[in-house]
Structures are given as C-alpha cells and as structure tokens.
Amino acid sequence: MDYIQPYLDYFTANPEWALVIIFLISLGEALLIIGLFVPSTAVLVGAGVLVGTGHLGFWPVIIATAVGCIVGDQISYWAGRLFGERLKTMWPLSLYPQLVAKGEDFVRVHGGKSIAIGRFVPGVKSVVPGIVGMFGMNQLFFIFVNVTSGIFWSFAHVVPGVLIGQGLAFAGELSGRLLVVLLVLLVVLALAGFIIRLAAAGVSPFLNHLLARVSAWARARRGRSWQRFARAVSPDNPRSVMIVLFAAIIFTGIIAFANLAIRAASQNAVSNIDVSVATLMRESRNAPGDELMTVITMMGDTVVMTALALTILGWLVWHKAYRAAWAAGFAILAAKLFELAMKLGLQRARPTELSYSGASIFSFPSGHATMAAVIFGILAVLVSHSMGRWGRAVVYALCAILVVAIAYSRLYLGAHWLSDVLAGLTFGVVMMAAFGVAIEAIPPRRIKPLGLFAAALVVFLAAGALHVATGFTRASEMYAVPQPQILVPVAQWVEKDWQKLPARRIDMAGRPGETFIAQFAGNLDLLATQLEAGGWTPTPVWTWRESLPYLNPNAALPDLAPRPALHEGLKAKLTLTRSAPGDGPGREVIRIYKTGLAAAEGTVYKPIYLVSLTREVMNNGFNLYAIPSQRPASDADIADLRGELARAQGLSVLSQHDRAGMVQDLITAIP
C-alpha cells in the first residue's frame, strides 16, 4: 500500500486527471480500428474499482465514459460519411479487409440496431460506426442510437468495477496487504486476458495480410510443390492462420524454454529476479491471502488436473474422436514425463521446503504451471476449433486466466521460483501448440465442443471443491510461512528479551496498530479457561466463512465475528469477546498472538504470546456490508483486564515496565 496509496491519493485530490484518462480511453475504444488495441474494459472496470473504493465519484466517471464513447463513435461515423467507399482502401482499414467485410455483413443483418449491439461485439465494434456512415445512415437516427447505447455501455462497464471495488474495500477493511495481493492478481489476470484479446484482434489480420503476400509469391513460382505451399498458407484456407500461429508458438516457446533450462542448470541457478520476486511474494504473505491462494493452488493439484484430463479424453472417446483422444493423451503424458525428467535431472531446490516426495521435491519446472497450461490449452484448442476469431479469443482468455491464477498461486506460496513457473508455462504452451497443429491438420468431427467445455468446467469445479474440502487443512499447514522459535531462558526474557518483541501490533501495511498490554509464556488453553471464567467468550479461528455475515448490512454486532486483525501477517491464536462494561458501546476483544520466542527452563520450553485489547463497534459501509470498526481500548478497560490477569488462578504478574509511555505486563504461567 505504501506504493499504491500515493497514486490513489493523487487521483482523489486531482480527479480531473483520472477523468481525462477515462475519457481518452473510452474515446480511443470507439475509433476506427484503434479500438482493437485499446484496453478499454480493463481501464473502465478499473475506474469503477476506484469508485467502489471511494477514490472517484460515480457520476463523473459515468459521464466521462459515456461522452468519450459517444464522441468516438461520432468521429468514426463522420469518417464514413466523408470518405464513403474510399474508406475501405485507406490505412488502417486497408489492413483489415476481412474485418471490414464482417462489419458490413453485421450492419446488413442488424440494420440500425447494429450501432447498439455492435458496442458489445468484439472486433466489429471498431468498424460498425464507420460502416453505417459509409452506408449513409441518417445523422439524427445515428445520434439517438449512439447516445442511448453509449450511456448503457458506460453503465455496463463501470458498474461491475464498482462492485469489485466494494469487494476490495471490504478486503481492505480486513487487511491492507490482502488488498494489494488481490489487486496484483486482478492486474495479472486482466493483462493475460488483454494479451489474448489483442492477439485475436490485432495479430490475426496482420498475419492474414502476410500470408496473402507469401501465398502470392509462392504462386508466382513454378513447380507443383510451390503451388501446394501457396494453397496451404493462403488466407482462403481456414486453417492456415492457426497452423502458422501454432508453429510460431512452438518455435519461440522451445527457444524460451531452452534458455530458462540452461540458466537453471548453470551455477547461477537462482537469478536475481527469482530472488527479488520470491522476496516480494514472501513479504506480501498474509493469512487471508494464504487461504485464498491455497485454494487456487489446490485447484491445480494432480488429482484435480487428472480428473479434468480424463474428462476431456473420455468425451473424445465417447464421440469417437479417437485420433484427437490419442493426440491429447500423448501430449498430456509426454508433458508429465518431461516435467518429472527435468526435475530429476536438474534437482533444483524450492524456495521453501515443502513436504513433497519423489521428483516433486524439486522445483524446475513448475508441475502445476506445466500441467495446467497443457490440459487447459488442449481444452481451449478443442472447444474453439470451429469458432470464429472472437469466440476463440474468449475461450483462450478464460482458460488462460485459470492457468495464470494457478501459476501466480505457486509464486505467492513460495512453492516455486519465477523461472520455474515461466518454464512450466512455456513448455505447457509448446505442447498445447503441438496438439493444436495436429487438430488443425486433422480436425475431429461432431465432438460437441460447447458440451465438452461445460462438462470439463463442471468436473474441474466439482473435483476441486471436493479436494479442497478434504485436504485444505493439510495443505494450509504445508504452505504455511515457517515460524522458527528462538529459545531464551525465562530469566533472560523477564530481564531484557521482552523488549525485543513489538510494543504494538504491526498491521499488513507495516504500520503500528494497538498496544500489546501483556506478554506471557505458558499454556494458551489454561489462559483461555481463566478468561472464560471471567465472562469472556472464545471465538473460532477466523476463516473466510466468518466473513459471510459481514455481507448483511443489517447484522447486529453479536452476530459478527471480530475482524481478523493480523500481526505481521499472522492470525491471532486465540480471540475472545465480551460486551463492553456498563453502558459503553460495542464489545471488548482480546487477541493473543504467538511470537518467535519461547521461554525455556531446563528441558521445558513454552511459547511466548502477546496480548492486545481493543473495542469494536458497528460500521455499515456504503449500506452494502457491516464490518466491526476497531477502536483503541480505554485506560479503564486495560486496567480491568490487567486486574483479571493478575487475579487469575495459576498466573503471576512478574513486573511492569514503562516504554515510550506504553505499560506492558510480563505474565507467566505457573507450572
């Protein structure tokens, strides 16, 4: 947040610059051909996110978005009216004859409705306004449809971002660093989707143009082989573009993977960027984020990927697409065997020791990234084979988002270095492209691709949910951040080492929170029993399920779990609540955090804990959710708790210290 907050503060203080950017993006998205290369959806949804988090106003963003897209379409319309049919021969439309022809067919089929419908159809939306102008549509009619559809389009793009922003604001209320983790993940996913969209929108037309020139050059040469080559690469051959694209992916992917493998095999196996990214991920770790990323990484575990692969193979066999089934099975098996062989050959250590066995104890390449890329890639190839360019782009983007999310979780959890994940993704994409060449050369028939896609996703989600439900606890323990304990003699802790521990809770942004009012070493269950006798109620360890009541803005405070305040990224080991004494508002909350120190006496040692006390009251954010708002405990509340601890049977107050005005008690359990 230290890096992101200044930008948010700047846009909050100078919203006019944010509105100018939103206007220009919305304008560029509506201009002829240029709109193909403008990441309008990501930017406008991002603007909605800033609205949802309270950094921008809703109506100014809507107005800037609507005016931009309306003006952009109007400019494109005037270009069509001014140049007429000549517009198709002018740059840049001359590079996209197939897109222009598709836009003309779209306008002929839908007539005046094409202006409104076309805004939501990838590809044609960048040419429809110019084409209707070229066809001579009435100016007043165009203005009416342009304005009304532009307003609707603006709401459709900004409102989802507002809802996402509300979710991020909700996450930010719980943990500042969790907000950063989610923002990074959203940016990575949006970037992956945009690259796929850009490839479908921009690379294919250029490739068509290049293939046309290569085909013409080959036809001008003598010889039957040249003529066959010319027909194979001609844009008129519906499979030529995908075959060439897949071949290019295989060529560049092999080079990239070889480069990563050579670097991994060298003496400098772990590069500076590997270490830097691993450090960044480690410093971003937090308890809610760990739970989310553990679920995502479990969705890429072998048992889930195997279920998905068997579903794809079974579907192909059921529909008698035996060649496609053999090709898919070979690609998946070859990828798995190659991954295991590379791990055994290089034996690269993981960033963090995990309880894997066999070849899986090694790191290069990432098995999760490899198999996710191969299996989801094969699914994308099969499902999108008979689709148009934009349908294919949507399928590939959806599959890519799932693959990238799994790959990102491996980095976050410290299971792999960055180069491991990149190598896995690269090799997986190479195998996917090789399968794609085989499918384009000998396409399967009657496999009902949409049914395959639905069945595969249902099995993926069902297998993943079952795997998470049965193995989440074990996985959480395996991926947990290591917490080594330093043993110190009890006398040394009492005399000086207590000062090495934080005086205040450190939140996820690194900022100090409430004061720790006590330290104690001993049995946590014993302390809980003593406090329960005094009217305190223990609450379960916070999980995402505990946050569901927060979504009810009318919830009462007793119905809500205490907010998950984290200390140095870790949850409290014990949380207890009690109604505020007297007529005071809200409730008191005790949180007890485990430290990295343990008090040793002979061969017996006991962990040292930090105790905090806060007060919570209701906070209804935007009337959409209710999260307890945290306040510092009063001096009277702290004094009362100290008295309870001092009177508790089996506990002894050893001493009191004054450090920077913050009183701390050292408490130890009597054996």
CA 594 from chain center: how many Å?
Answer: 30
The token pair that represents 293 in the structure block: 């990323």
630, part of any domain: yes
CA angle 524, 288, 416 (to 5 degrees): 105
**22 and 148 both lie in a single domain:** yes
Q: How many domains does the chain have?
A: 3
Q: H/E/C letters for each residue in 612-625?
A: EEEEEECCEECCCE
Do 471 and 509 sit in the same domain of this protein? no
CATH number of the domain at 314, please. 1.20.144
Residue 6 has a pLDDT of: 58
> What is the model's pLDDT at position 459?
93
pLDDT higher than 50, residue 288: yes
Question: pLDDT, tens digit, for every residue of 482-500?
Answer: 777 788 888 888 778 888 8
Mean of per-residue pLDDT scores for the chain: 76
Burial class (CB in 10 A: 0-12, 13-18, 19+), 226: middle
For residue 157, give the amino acid letter. H
- Among 151, 174, 197, the domain-final residue is 174
Instruction: Write phi, then psi, for 480 (nearest 5 degrees).
Output: -60, 150
Looking at the domain assignment, is residue 343 inside a domain?
Answer: yes
Residue 25: pLDDT band (50, 70, 90) is confident
Residue 201 in domain: no
**Selection from 535, 495, 277 nearest residue 407 by Cα:** 277
Confidence check: pLDDT of 638 > 90: no
Contact 259, 247 (CB under 8 A): no
Say if CB 265 and CB 346 are below 8 A apart. Answer: yes
Same domain, 542 and 615: yes
Of 666 and 343, the structure prediction assigns the larger pLDDT to: 343
Q: Tell me, yes or no, whether 41 lies in a domain.
A: yes
Q: Clarify whether residues 279 and 390 are in a common domain.
A: yes
Query: Token pair for residue 385?
Result: 């084979």
Does 13 fall in a domain?
yes
- Predicted pLDDT at 540: 80
Helix 240-265 crosses helix 322-346 at what angle (to 10 degrees)? Answer: 20
Q: Does residue 325 sit within a domain?
A: yes
Q: Which residue has the higher pLDDT, 112 or 320?
A: 320
Backbone angles phi, psi at 601, to 5 degrees: -140, 105
Domain identity same for 252 and 379: yes
188 against 667, higher pLDDT: 188
Q: Is residue 193 assigned to a domain?
A: no
Of 160, 166, 15, 57, nearest to 622 (Cα)? Answer: 166
624 compared with 415, residue with greater pLDDT:
415
Do residue 512 and residue 572 come from a single domain? Answer: yes
* pLDDT value at residue 654: 38
The percentage of residues in the chain with a pLDDT greater than 90, rounded to a whole number, is 11
**From CA 333, how far away is CA 160, in angstroms rounded?**
40
Q: 398 and 425: one domain? A: yes
Residue 669 has pLDDT above 50, yes or no: no
Q: At what angle do helices 367-384 and 418-441 cross, to 10 degrees?
A: 30
How far is it, in rounded angstroms, from Cα 372 to Cα 259? 21
Q: What is the pLDDT of residues 448-473, one digit of tens each?
A: 888 889 999 999 999 999 999 898 88
CA pseudo-torsion sign 152, 156, 162, 163? positive
pLDDT-based confidence at 655, cuts 50/70/90?
A: very low
Range of the domain at 620: 486-669
- pLDDT of 537-588, one tens digit each? 888 876 666 667 777 777 788 888 887 777 776 778 889 998 887 666 788 9
% of the chain at pLDDT higher than 70: 72
Do 293 and 416 share a domain, yes or no? yes
Q: How many CB atoms lie within 10 A of CB 651?
A: 19
Q: The tokens of 114 are what?
A: 């094409």
pLDDT score, position 206: 58
Q: Give residue 34's pLDDT band: very low, low, confident or very high (50, 70, 90).
A: low
Q: What is the pTM of this model?
A: 0.58
Cα–Cα nearest to 510, from 176, 205, 212: 176
Chosen domain end from 479, 501, 532: 479
pLDDT over 80 at 296, yes or no:
yes
442 and 569 in a single domain? The answer is no
Return the higher-pLDDT residue of 75 and 553. Answer: 75
Q: Which residue has the higher pLDDT, 175 or 127?
A: 127
Mean pLDDT confidence for 625-644: 78
- What is the three-class DSSP state of 74? helix
Whether 558 is in a domain gets the answer yes
pLDDT band of residue 651 (cuts 50, 70, 90) is: very low
387, 531: one domain: no
Residues 549 and 499 in one domain: yes
Q: Are strands 512-521 and 504-506 parallel, antiparallel or unpaired?
A: antiparallel
Which tokens sit at 173?
């209320």
Non-local (6+) Cβ contacts of 147 within 8 A are 70
Q: Are strands 662-669 and 512-521 parallel, antiparallel or unpaired?
A: parallel
**Are the beta carbons of 363 and 417 closer than 8 angstroms?**
yes
Same-domain status, 450 and 547: no
How far is it, in rounded angstroms, from Cα 76 to Cα 146?
Answer: 11
Question: What is the secondary structure of 571-616 as a DSSP string?
Answer: --SEEEEEEPSTT-SSEEEEEEEEEEEEEEETTEEEEEEEEEEEEE
From 461, 479, 497, give the residue that closes a domain.
Answer: 479
